Amino acid sequence: MPSTASKHLATFPNPQPRRDYRIHMEIPEFTCLCPKTGQPDFATLYLDYVPDRLCVELKSLKLYIWSYRNEGAFHEAVTNRMLDDLAAATKPRFMQLTAKFYVRGGIFTTVVAATRKKGWRAPAAVNLDALPAGSSTR
């Protein structure tokens, strides 16, 4: 039986809930319709998040993304709506969705939306290139 588009986002327990780690996904086949002309809009989505208790299940994410194929939506609205839905389903420590829409009318549009759990702060980045030559991390 073939899969069908769905707005349901399934989740599974985070296998490392005590650790901050980033999950990065690239979704190169997002499509929706221009609400003014009905013409298709194409985008690559970049989803980055630090999970708390839940992670999004990939097949449900694929079917969720597919559900927008025949919907009219402004770039800004659809990006923010997807972020809201993903954050509601997973309740992450941090989540950012970047939508890079392909050219329309000679203009590329990129929309970046983010949310974070109240009180959560990203740990300081580690710059491995900054270690002096010959030094050890032990």
Residues 20, 34, 48, 84: which is the catalytic one? Answer: 34
Does residue 44 fall inside a structural domain?
yes
Has 55 been annotated as catalytic? no
Supply the CATH number for residue 62's domain.
3.30.1130.10
User: Over the stretch 28-69, which tens digit does the pLDDT of each residue have?
Assistant: 999 999 999 999 999 999 999 999 999 999 999 999 999 999
Q: What are phi and psi of 22, to 5 degrees?
A: -100, 135
pLDDT of residue 29: 95
Q: What would the mean pLDDT of 17-32 be, rounded to a whole number?
A: 96
- What is the domain range of residue 96? 11-117
Active site residue 34: yes
Instruction: Answer whether residue 111 is part of any domain.
Output: yes
pLDDT bin (cut points 50, 70, 90) of residue 1 is: low
- Tokens linked to 116: 């974070």
Q: How far apart are CA 116 and CA 45, in angstroms?
A: 19
Positive or negative torsion for Cα 71, 73, 76, 81: negative
Give backbone dihedrals phi and psi of 64, rounded to 5 degrees, phi first: -65, -50
80 within some domain: yes
Q: pLDDT, tens digit, for every residue of 76-121? A: 999 999 999 999 999 999 999 999 999 888 899 999 999 999 999 9
Query: Parallel, antiparallel, or unpaired for β 11-13 and 107-116?
Result: unpaired
